[in-house]
Structure 1
């Protein structure tokens, strides 16, 4: 319902008195406008000339003010039009049509606005009333936030505060908050599931817990580095790019598996596990990772912000996975080899 209706209606009544000619205008205005003939060229030239004189006078009187600048712009536009109309007089007809085409509609709208009446629940249009009052008398209440709910913390605080009054909430803020919670919980579940399945697969291949930890530790470190770099580069997780976390495990685990399995075979043949880095396996892992980075990196060129951010974070994630696999994993293999030899000597 409009507020301060009495004050607004008094102002409308006062304005209607000064614009009585609008209220007294006949209903045949549109018909009379349609019956008008094309404007006389000489009369049109004189009318444009008078308008130019008035605009020029205002521009000189109020020079430097917004009113004067607007008048100067109007004078310049009319001068250009007048020069063009000397070569093509039909422009006067086109100007008349453009200026007066919507005039009857605007006058009719103004007449309606000047005859405004008090608004009550009974006088509201049925379609508007149905949005707020149901057939059984339930009333819809809208609560607007004083904070900017684009901020996640402010949005959650707003929803929590309103839900204390009535838990039966709906609306954009509740929907966005609920959707964010569902996506974040789903991604946490997917990440943990992917990590557990990867650990089970590695254990099924090597049957040693130590090798499982060697494969997973670089992945965990790569995930932490990706999250930290996303904060530093202002690339936060969103609904589109949060899928990076489970993808990081799926895409990054095979590089470590290749290296660990090759190191295991070398150790079984009597060599050192760290000798794997003098073979062709690290080079193959490097080329494979670079190919994957190039494939997913093309997503960063997308015009869609979510898709582009997913490509950017995937490039970072796979890059960090490659670095941790080629830098951290050798240290872990060396430690494992040292502890293994120590255990054999004991």
Structure 2
């Protein structure tokens, strides 16, 4: 019984609303709004003194996504190469900063390699010192996709920072290997545990230092810390696991040639 009454009330309410809207529609005179009908304060914001109109385009996606931001800016510039706005400014500034960090990392690698040549006085040894850094960086790029980490305005600093921090592992191992290669047992050059422990300790302290940035609430600082930790561990792993194995293969090949 109650349900029947409620349905009847709902029907009558809707009929009454239709009548009211019909009355309002009959008594309201509407016309198409024109630009001249807009307040002067709004027209000044969107129309210049020489009659040029301001067109605002809002992105449909997240501009903090680098791939979307790049696509959005490129599409805008196909319409107007001189378009400006926050997404364009963010894209230009981020790209310039990232390119600057890449150049800084390249210059650092070149200067470090020259310094190694001057110190070690051997091209091959200087190249071997750089291998953990190069290999660890390649591993880092691969893991970035696994952990869904992209380069941004903050973590681009990782590149020049990790170059100086990562090359020291190769220096320690190569210098120690040069000291011990003439004291080899058969075809083996035995590294003392103190050398590996020193490299491991240097790598872990660097990792912990960078890792402290991960606790930051700022997403940019967090991504910088995460990327630096991944990079430090990759370079450390390459120095401890790959470089000694490579040195063993090189030493084995040279001794076989001597025989």
Q: TM-score range by the shorter chain?
A: 0.7 to 0.9
Look up the match of 1:271.
183
Report if the CA contact (8 A) 2:129-2:167 is conserved: yes
Report how many residues are paired.
234
Unaligned stretches of 5+ in structure 1?
1-56, 63-113
Which of these residues, 231, 245, 251, is aligned with residue 159 of structure 2?
Answer: 245
Report Cα offsets for 1:104-153 as digits up to 9, x if no partner.
Answer: xxxxxxxxxx99997543443333222112223332223445x5253544
Q: Higher relative contact order at CA 8 Å, sep ≥6: structure 1 or structure 2?
A: 2
* Alignment of structure 1 residues 128-147 onto 2, 5 Å: 128-145=42-59, 147=60
RMSD value over aligned CA atoms? Answer: 3.0
- C-alpha change, 1:259 and 1:163, in structure 2 (3 Å) is same
| Other structure's SS at 1:175 match | helix
Which of these residues, 195, 198, 201, is aligned with residue 284 of structure 1?
Answer: 198
Could you tell me how far 1:278 is from its partner in structure 2?
1.5
TM-score under structure 2 length normalisation = 0.77
Look up the match of 1:334.
248
Are 1:314 and 2:234 an aligned pair? no
Unaligned stretches of 5+ in structure 2?
8-27
* Alignment of structure 1 residues 177-196 onto 2, 5 Å: 177-196=91-110
Are 1:148 and 2:61 an aligned pair? yes
2:155 & 2:62 partners in 1: Cα distance?
22
Look up the match of 2:116.
202
Look up the match of 1:174.
88
* Alignment of structure 1 residues 29-40 onto 2, 5 Å: none
Report Cα offsets for 1:53-79 as digits up to 9, x if no partner.
Answer: xxxx9xx959xxxxxxxxxxxxxxxxx
Look up the match of 1:212.
126
Could you tell me how far 1:186 is from its partner in structure 2?
1.7
Which of these residues, 116, 127, 146, is aligned with residue 41 of structure 2?
Answer: 127
Could you tell me how far 1:285 is from its partner in structure 2?
1.5
Look up the match of 1:296.
210
| Other structure's SS at 1:266 match | helix
